[in-house]
Amino acid sequence: TQHLVCHPMVDMVSLTGGTSIGIEVVKNTADRLARTSLELGGKSPVVNSPTADFQQSMQPVMLGKTLNAGQICLAPDYLLVPEEELEEVISLATKAVKDMYSSLRDNDHYTSVINERHHKRLSGYLEDAEQRGCRIIPLNPANEDFSNSTGKIPPTLIVSPESDTLCMEEEIFGPLLPIRTYKDFDETIDYINANPRPLAAYYFGKDKGEEEAFLHRTTSG
C-alpha cells in the first residue's frame, strides 16, 4: 500500500479507513501534491434516551456488533445509556445475542476477526480495559472456550471505561462494545462533540426535543 501511495504514476489516492492511516497517506502524497480523498471514521456513538424502548433498541445495536463480528464501518462503536438503565441494557444485550446465536465458536454465521494482527489489537483493548478496572462481560451463550486460536472473539461489553481507555480512543472495528452512562441527556451531546466527528451517530428515543438536539447539535458523516 505504501508503494502504491508513493508511486509517481498515481495521481489520486482515495482512502476509507482509520485516522492514523489517513495521516500517513497525506504525508506520503504531500511532497508530490497528489490529490487525496479521505473518509476517516470517528467512533460512532449510540445514544439511548431515557424515553427509549430498550428492548427494541438493543436488538439492532447488537445486530450491528455481531454482523461480520462488528467489522463494518457503520457498526456501533460505543453506547451511552441513562445511569439507572445500565443493568437493564446489559441484560437486554445478553438476551439479544442469545436470541441470534445459540453458539458462536463453530457457528458459520458468526465470523472470525479478519487476521491475527487485528485479533491481537482487540485483545489488547480488552486487556487495557481490564487492567483499568472495567467490568468485562463476554456474551457467550454456550459458554464456549475461545482460547485455542479460533480467530473469534465473542461479543463483549466493556462497562464504564474512562475516555482515555484504548477502546474509547481507537476505532474498534470488532465485536467489543463499550457502555458509558449519563445522568442528563445534554451530557451525551457534549461528550460526542468533545471527540473527533463520528462516521455515524444513532439515537433511540421518543422525545422530539432530544431528537432535534441530537440531529442539529452533533455532526456525523
Positions annotated as catalytic residues are 39, 73
DSSP conformation letters of 179-192: EEEESSTHHHHHHH
Other Cβ atoms less than 10 A from the Cβ of 205: the count is 18
Q: Residue 6 and residue 208: Cα distance in Å, rounded? A: 49
Q: CA torsion, points 188, 191, 197, 203, in degrees to nearest 10?
A: -10
Torsion sign over Cα 69, 114, 164, 154:
positive
DSSP 3-state assignment of 101? Answer: coil
CA distances 77 to 1, 45, 53, 168, 210, Å, are 26, 6, 20, 8, 21
Q: Residue 175 and residue 208: Cα distance in Å, rounded? A: 31
Task: Locate all alpha helices (DSSP H) within 105-175, ordered by sequence.
Answer: 116-131, 166-169
